[in-house]
Structure 1
Amino acid sequence: MSEFIGTAIGIGILCLVVLGALSQFSVLFDRKYSRKRRSDD
């Protein structure tokens, strides 16, 4: 049972890290994409 709890906590932390990285990446991607669209116009 303790192993399951440890695994669940590890997966939860991993999900939080992945979500944080995705949010930061999406913000950077949005900035680059918006700059490209502005330069094209």
Structure 2
Amino acid sequence: MKGGEPAFSTQPYELAQIPEPATLFLMGIGLAYIGLLKIGRRDN
């Protein structure tokens, strides 16, 4: 049980720490893309 718990608890931490910056980066790009689309549609 203890042998499986640390591995199970460590994996989410590593996975959560690594994608966090990437997720924020992708979210920023997505929001900017949506914003540009909205501005483009308003222009047209």
TM class by smaller structure: 0.5 to 0.7
Runs (4+) off by over 6 Å: none
TM-score by length of 1: 0.65
The number of aligned residues is: 41
Runs of at least 5 residues in structure 1 that lack an aligned partner in the other structure = none
In structure 2, C-alpha distance between the alignment counterparts of 1:3 and 1:32, rounded to whole Å: 42
The percent identity for this pair of structures is 5
Amino acid at match of 2:24: S
TM-score by length of 2: 0.62
Greater helix fraction, Structure 1 or Structure 2? 1
Runs of at least 5 residues in structure 2 that lack an aligned partner in the other structure = none
